[in-house]
Structure 1
Amino acid sequence: MADADRDRWDSRHAAAVAAGADGIAPPDALRGRTELLPPGGRALDVACGRGAVAVWLAAQGFAVDAVDVSPVALDAGRRLAAREGVPVRWLLHDLDAGLPDAGTYDVVVCQRFRDPARYPELVARIAPGGLLVVTVLSEVGEGPGPFRAPAGELRAAFGALEVLHHVERDGEASIVARFSGSASTSARR
């Protein structure tokens, strides 16, 4: 990621923190579906931003790794986790270089970060029986844009998993899928 991009994200996160935009929440695709979560284990929040989802997962009892490129966002996440009294491991990492390799997870969340080159890596990080939760901006109901997924992108990318929920509308696409442990080798790469 270019320094200008990192600076832009730092600025956006700093403005949100200054406006008091902090709190915890489940991933958008799991709202009303939290019963799909496994009973515990490890969780990965990719492009975690200020940590709302990472801290929520930790409050549910998961051991959470939260990854983002913005030091400002990670600092806000640390403060949020401290306020909520939960541990989270915060990882400063440029996702343009791929996901950090820290084994597999029982829950992998990627919300509002779209890089189709990372999709196979997301699948590879899911432990057998684990849950993948992805929400991206979509062209469906909104029109094309450089950061928007075309119709069907998530189902095509993650269709080898057991799809529990999938929706595309109003400029967003979400998928919740479980890795049964029997996905093809190519789907896990």
Structure 2
Amino acid sequence: MSTAAGIPHAPLGAPSPWVARWAHLVRPGGRVLDLACGNGRHAIWFACRGHAVLGVDRDAAALAALAALPEGVATRPVDLEQGTWPLADEPGFDAIVVTNYLHRPLWAHLFAALAPGGVLLYETFAAGNETVGKPSNPDFLLRPGELLDAVHGILRVIAYEDGVLKAPKTAFVQRICAIREDIGKTGGGAPPRYPLPG
């Protein structure tokens, strides 16, 4: 499920504040995958920051409009919920951004698609949202702590939130920033330090 309106806490076209908050962890100029990108607000934002971006969505019309915009955004029309993982031929991504979309069978593919040091920025609706609006189908709502459980033992969690946004419209969300650590760089010694924003 991909929605152009998105989680109701940023103007249409503006990046999610969660994505913007943690984008400093993405390698400068690194490759970014915007999965289920819809109108491409994050693809455009990262491209404007000098990243090479691949926007993937099943909406070919939205992708056509996106492909006509900034340099640095490539698009691929794919129904992510049918067939095999369509990005197996791609080298690792320095960041994967997923907002307002949930298809649990993709998680293992997403984690594997991160390059060492790659950042997962994931934000979508959570259980409780059915009491305030759509989506209300439990297939599209994260269970309590589900994002944490999904990355446990695979990625290092930098930040996680599970709660209710009140403005401009109430929404229940979970969001995570997690990194695929480069084991070669940590060498089993002190863990790397990731700068917190602000």
Q: What's the % identity of the aligned pairs?
A: 30
Q: Distance in 1 between matches of 2:175 and 2:39?
A: 20
**Segments of 4+ moved more than 6 angstroms:** none
What secondary structure sits across from 2:21 in the alignment?
coil
56, 68, 74: which one aligns with 1:89: 74
1:5-154 superposed matches below 5 A = 23=13, 25-79=14-68, 81=69, 85-96=70-81, 97=83, 98-101=85-88, 102-140=90-128, 145-146=137-138, 147-154=140-147
Would the aligned equivalents of 1:45 and 1:64 in 2 still touch at CA under 8 Å?
A: yes
Residues 3-58 of structure 1 deviation map (CA, whole Å, 9 limit, x = unaligned): xx9xxx7xx76x9xxxxx863x3344223333222222111110010111011111
The answer for unaligned runs of 5 or more in structure 2 is 6-10, 165-171, 184-198
Describe the superposition over 1:87-143 as per-residue Cα deviations: whole angstroms up to 9, x where unpaired: 211100110133422121001111111011111111011000110111111015655
Amino acid at match of 1:67: V
Deviations 1:148-182 (A, max 9, x none): 11001100001221111100112111000011034
Consecutive unaligned residues in structure 1, runs of 5 or more = 16-20, 183-189
How does the TM-score come out when normalised to structure 1?
0.76
With normalisation by structure 2, the TM-score equals: 0.73
Cα distance in structure 2, aligned partners of 1:50 and 1:111 = 12
Structure with greater helix percent: 1
Distance 1:37 1:141 in 2: 30
Instruction: Give the superposition deviation at 1:73.
Output: 1.4
Q: Please give the secondary structure, in 2, of the residue aligned with 1:177.
A: strand
Distance 2:12 2:63 in 1: 12
Number of equivalences:
163
Q: Distance in 1 between matches of 2:76 and 2:96?
A: 15
